[in-house]
Chains A and B, each alone.
Chain A
Amino acid sequence: MRAYTPKDDVQKNPYYTDRYWVAPQVAKSDVSEDEVFAADLEAIKAAFDVSDAYIQVGQMVVIINAADNYGVIELMKNTLEYNQLSELSAIDWLAQEGKFEIFYQMLSMSKRKRIRVKCKIDEKESIQSVSSLFRSADWSEREMYDMFGVVINNHPFMKRILMPDDWEGFPLRKTYPLQGDEFAQWYEVDKLFGKEARDIIGPEIRDSARVDRYDTERFARLGHEVPRGADISQGEPDTPLCYQEGDGVFLIEKFDAEKSVVISDRDR
């Protein structure tokens, strides 16, 4: 039997303090546990400022200053043999700390190790491009700019990559609404027909739960087609599949459902 716990003040002592479930932190271990990582960290520490470093799920995480990002990646590529930049992006911590976290996921094919280099920048701060070291950073940095609005210095082609060039707003920020802000909701109407067409075309119907079973203005049930706008609240007639209207088409023999045979054997 479970041990008794007093239930007097249940409402005053809520079990959960957070409104939503918060994922537990993955356990961190010390870098000295892995000699390859320890040697790499020593090499980075010799040249740059490292504010924190630990091992998480077999990968070393190194937290550096944002100004050193190019130097650290260059050192890791040229001397520490981390020859692949497999991922690069930002994380939006604007609500919590007013900062973006930029991470570079590096892979060493010779050492068979992965290191994640992290740094934090302010919302309006820009960061140095590493696309001259890794070609993969080119598009990743453009995507980071497109989705978060992080401006990259010395990038060869600093334009949006996924959204249209005339887009406003950065969709992957936590403050961006999933169904789009006003600009996004009217984007195609404004662009193609002009703002004055908004009244004519009307707002987007975004309610995914909206079902109008008796809507014949826009929908017709297959096999139960009725004229547009007909009232079908009292039920609608069956309209059997009819491939030709009336008495058929000129020169073409009319399909007769009575004479047709349904083949049940699919392998025939």
Chain B
Amino acid sequence: MAQHQVNYLKDGGLPVALTTIDKVVNWGRSNSLWALTYGLACCGIEMMASGASRYDFDRFGTIFRASPRQAELMVVAGTLTKKHAEFIRRLYDQMTEPKWVISMGSCANTGGMFNTYATVQGVDRVIPVDLYLPGCAPRPETLQYAVLLLQQKIRRESASRAQKPKRLM
């Protein structure tokens, strides 16, 4: 407890903030985006760099979790092969609502330079994507910007979005 007298009417105003439930919930959600570690290829290295101390994702509230049950953001970082498509869908389904997906890099966006029989031509063929991040590979700053844009998107949404989950089809 503060020992000194605080005059709430003068020093910094009343300790009261008025807002809406939507804003408070989205404020919390957007600033604690826990991401699933999903490095599939070289973009994963940039994602790891973003999480490490130099670029420091923690200050945005983005903490990488190794379990889909604890994550609400999936950063698909790298080439998605057809063999792996089944597993990315399973992991996406295991994430709790609300959940968001960032498709990181050319390979995840469109298949990139892997125009072959074994590569999924864009993860949006398998899971719904919120944000496409260009680059090969995008630098950590770009991923940070993507997360900040996603935060803006989350704040614009209704907080009760969980009742209508996104559908790919």
Q: Chain A: residues with CB nearer than 8 A to chain B? A: 162-164, 171, 176-181, 184-185, 187-189, 191-193, 197, 200-201, 204-206, 208, 218-219, 222, 241, 243-245, 249-251
| Size of interface on B: residues with Cβ below 8 Å to A | 33
Which chain B positions have C-beta within 8 A of A176? 117
**Which of A180, A245, A249 interacts with B156 by CB under 8 Å?**
A245
Alpha-carbon gap, A249 to B115, bound state (A):
42
Q: Residues of A contacting B145 with CB < 8 Å?
A: 222, 241
Which of B35-43, B48-56, B64-72, B82-90 is near enough to bind chain A? B82-90
CB pair A188 B86 closer than 8 Å? yes
Residue of B nearest to A163 (CB): B83
Within the complex, what minimum Cβ distance (angstroms) separates B90 from chain A? 9
Task: For residue A256, give the distance in angstroms from its CB to the closest CB of chain B.
Answer: 15
Complex Cα gap A208–B83 (Å): 22
Q: List 25 A-B contacts (CB under 8 A).
A: A163-B83, A171-B117, A179-B116, A180-B117, A180-B118, A181-B117, A185-B117, A187-B82, A188-B82, A188-B120, A188-B125, A191-B85, A192-B89, A193-B168, A193-B169, A201-B169, A205-B122, A208-B115, A219-B134, A222-B134, A241-B145, A249-B31, A250-B17, A250-B24, A251-B17
With A178-B116, A191-B86, A250-B27 as known contacts, state yes or no: A205 contacts B134, CB within 8 Å.
no
Give the nearest-CB partner of A218 in chain B: B132
- Cα(A121)–Cα(B117), bound, Å: 27
Chain B residue numbers with a CB within 8 Å of A191 are 85-86
Main secondary structure of the interface of A (DSSP, over half): loop
- Which of A200, A204, A249, A250 touches B169 (beta carbons < 8 Å)? A200
Q: Chain A residues near B120: list those with CB within 8 A.
A: 188
Pair B125/A219 contact, Cβ less than 8 Å: no
Contacts of A185 in B (CB 8 A): 117
> Chain A residues near B85 (CB, 8 Å)?
187-188, 191-192
Residues 110-122 of chain B, each 1 if its beta carbon lies under 8 Å from chain A, else 0 = 1101011110111
Partner of A179, one of B117, B148, B152, B155: B117
- Asked if B161 lies at the interface with its beta carbon under 8 angstroms from chain A, I say no
Closest to A196 in B: B169
Annotate B145-169 by CB proximity to A: 1 below 8 A, 0 otherwise. 1001000100110000000000011
